[in-house]
Structure 1
């Protein structure tokens, strides 16, 4: 091809057709420029596809992390609701004039246990540390950031980082005064989820029996502590339910974006 153009140039110069040669030279320059632009366009397209592939991979990793969080969230939510129900029954009994509760109370559930929450954040941290702007949708990028930096972080702080919100630690001194341990019972009836990859859903709890009814019912300080514990339980349950809703919404938003990127 180069020999062909070279021969044309030589013929035009030999025939002293300068105007035609000039037109030809300009045409050759235009062809070279077009070739460069096409090459740049192909290179840009290839780079864009590489970025798109990375974006798809990052979004799928975030989805996987969110789905890994669900068993942990459901587990904690199940037991917070279980403990709250028994807490409320105990407080109602303490506030009533009755010496015996109208219905059996599982005192060990009213005491509860300390729960912790672990959320999978490796995919988001990797994305934030490298380049959050790889997410092309500004709306989705904001939703992902809010999910981890706001909703998830709030629950982690409330559940893990502040002893004053740990209902078990708040109530334990009073349970030591008014109750005795009996034997272990399995809380099978409270099990709503069974995922062996995370926890044994059947918590073995020491059964408690009330040994000082009058002391319990007269303890005004314990009533306040129990009322506060109930409030904290309700807040935690609401935070867990909000996070579950956010998980569902974010998974759906990522699915929508993945469909756009892959089609």
Structure 2
């Protein structure tokens, strides 16, 4: 009886060991399958992120170019103010048209944090940059909002009050206008609304202290905006490089 009990005990232990091993193998297979699914999902997310951030880079470059136009136009206008001799109205009008542009960066939404999928990104450096992305963009957009306010509340009303606005709009459209932010960059649209028939005094415009402040303010905010934009551009490049390092061919 003792012999049989010992055999049964050993047999029972063996059965338990086999069951435990089976459970462990099943768990290991399940974990491996889950990990494989997460890696596949991560790759899908990385490919979408690459597409999104390439679009962000393209759009941001457009905004940088627009702000560069504003800063260059502002410098030329300040030069006209300091040296008004032989300055023509058309030159002032042409440079003022750049100050009416509204460069605002509106990147593709990154909802990784909201969706709870950020944990799928295994690269910690990439994960950190994606976490900080919204904050970095917001810092630039705060500056853009300041220039929007200046443009809407000061620049446009000043041009309307001095009678320059119609001439500026006519200069934009008469030879064909394609904004840098246009979706269709091949469509050249021409319209001629003509210049104002009112008498415009160049000297009054150039000697107007408000005009000088407007031009200086335009330079200031556009230049600050581009400093932030170039820093953000570097962030995008770093993010794209990290994404590429994680994408499996």
TM-score over 0.5 for the pair: yes
Match of 1:226 among 215, 218, 222: 215
- Paired residue for 2:29? 42
Higher relative contact order (CA 8 A, sep 6+): 2
**Structure 2 residue 119 is matched with structure 1 residue 116:** no
Please give the alpha-carbon distance, in whole angstroms, between the structure 1 residues aligned to 2:191 and 2:119: 48
- 1:29 Cα offset (Å): 1.8
The alignment of Structure 1 onto Structure 2 pairs a total of residues equal to 237
The Cα shift of 1:162 comes to 4.5
- Quick check: which has more Rg, 1 or 2? 1
| 1:185 matched residue in structure 2 | 175
- Hey, what does 2:206 align to over in structure 1? 217
Unaligned runs of 5+ in 1: 1-12
Q: Give, in angstroms, the shift of residue 208 of structure 1.
A: 7.6
- The residue number in structure 2 matching 1:125 is 111
Per the normalisation by structure 2, the TM-score is: 0.78
What do the CA deviations read for 1:224-248 (whole angstroms, capped 9, x no partner)? Answer: 1211111011112222222222111
Shift, 1:31, TM fit: 1.6
Distance 1:21 1:173 in 2: 98
Task: Return the match for 2:154 from 170, 177, 181.
Answer: 170
Q: CA deviation at 1:139?
A: 2.5
For structure 2, the residue ranges without an aligned partner over 5 or more in a row are none
TM score, norm. by length of structure 1: 0.74
Aligned equivalent of 1:136, options 95, 111, 122:
122
- Secondary structure (helix, strand or coil) at the match of 2:20 reads helix
Per-residue deviation, residues 185-206 of structure 1 (Å, max 9, x unmatched): 3468xx9x8x98x343768698
Q: Give the RMSD, CA atoms, in angstroms.
A: 3.3
Question: Quick one: distance in 1 between partners of 2:67 and 2:247?
Answer: 35
Greater strand fraction, Structure 1 or Structure 2: 1
1:1-263 equivalence runs, <5 A: 16-96=3-83, 98-100=85-87, 104=91, 106-121=94-109, 124-147=110-133, 149-159=134-144, 161-162=145-146, 165-167=149-151, 169-176=153-160, 177=162, 179=164, 181=167, 182-183=170-171, 184-186=174-176, 198-200=183-185, 211-259=200-248
Instruction: Sort the Cα spacing of 1:219 and 1:203 in 2 relative to 1 into closer, same or farther, 3 A.
Output: farther
CA contact (8 A) 1:63 1:254 kept: yes
